[in-house]
Amino acid sequence: MRILITNDDGIYSPGIAALAQVASRFGETRIVAPDVEMSSASHSMSSNRPLSYKTTRLPVPVEGVQAFRVNGTPADCVTLGCSLWDKVDIVLSGINIGMNLGNAVWHSGTLAGAKQATLLGLRGIAFSAPATETEQPDFEALKPWVSTVLESLLEVPELKLVNVNFPARAPRGTVWACQSVRHYDGKVVAAKDPAGRPIYWYTVVPIEGAEDASDLRAVQQGFVSMTPLRLDLTDHEQLARAKSLEQIRFA
């Protein structure tokens, strides 16, 4: 099995090294990731400029794993990585420093890496872990859980796109969860630049009041949440309703 690894925190993030260390036990593994941080880049693609693909040394090299840095987005890295390496089976994205729960999937570059794999007809899994202002996730402690999750997900080829989030402390187990859609975790904070001019920061604020069985609730309760996602964004209920109204109108 060929495993391509990407992220949105940049190729020198400790999270990508941790993921590659675990993945390399499951198959032939290669890292192709952005040369700088691309968090919140979502699914953007560099269609108006050329990309470079350069071999690089990780701060902590992973045995048997080559690493390539790309001056592009996570989605660029997956497209380029899969075109320059034949027969990739699955793309793993992360481990992101920070959660990608609920509606954050819309702006997440981590998830976009996995999503681009699915668009190419491959499988994709995104991994994210909580971080505080001062502390990174404990990647060493997460590694056995990444392994457990991979073992169970790889067995089910029907799972094309899965969003995995780790809780803040030692997990109590893994659970399947739906995407929380109740809140969006971003807001705009006004401030002043050194010259006194108004500036605005987009920032993440904690989301509260998650639905039962949602990804957010699962990690709040100390579980690893696993959410299968699909590419079809069609609101089938409303589509059927709109069609039936149309039939009445044109009857």
Among residues 8, 76, 185, 215, which is the contact residue for Mn ion, using CB under 5 A? Answer: 8
Report the nearest approach of Mn ion to the CB of residue 100 (Å).
8
Does 185 contact Mn ion by CB under 5 A? Answer: no
Query: Closest separation between CB of residue 140 and Mn ion, Å?
Result: 19
Residues pairing with 224 in the sheet:
174
Token match 């590419």: residue? 231
Tell me the closest approach of the beta carbon of residue 110 to Mn ion, in angstroms: 6
Cβ-proximal residues to 218 (8 Å cutoff; 6+ apart), any chain = 165, 167, 175, 177, 224, 225
Quote the Cα angle for 123-158-215, to 5°. 80
- The interface with Mn ion within residues 81-120 (CB under 5 A) comprises 96
- 165 makes contact with Mn ion (CB under 5 A): no
Q: How far is the CB of 198 from Mn ion (least distance, A)?
A: 27
The nearest distance, CB 97 to Mn ion, in angstroms, is 6
39 binds Mn ion (CB under 5 A): yes
Total residues binding Mn ion (CB under 5 A): 4
Contact stretch for Mn ion (CB under 5 A) within 3-11, 23-31, 68-76, 82-90: 3-11
Least distance (Å) between residue 200 CB and Mn ion: 21
Residue with CB nearest Mn ion? Answer: 39
Q: Looking at beta carbons only, is 9 or 185 nearer to Mn ion?
A: 9
Residue 8 vs 185, nearer CB to Mn ion: 8
For residues 108 and 100, the answer to whether their CB atoms sit within 8 Å is: yes
- Distances in Å between the alpha carbon of 212 and those of 173, 178, 180? 17, 9, 9
CA distance 96 to 15: 6
Which residue, 96 or 165, is less far from Mn ion as judged by CB?
Answer: 96
Do the beta carbons of residue 68 and residue 34 sit within 8 Å?
no
Candidate ranges 6-14, 21-29, 206-214, 224-232; the one touching Mn ion (CB under 5 A): 6-14
Nearer to Mn ion, 48 or 134 (CB): 134
Contact 219, 145 (CB under 8 A): no
Q: Tell me the closest approach of the beta carbon of residue 172 to Mn ion, in angstroms.
A: 25
Contacting residues toward Mn ion, per CB under 5 A: 8-9, 39, 96
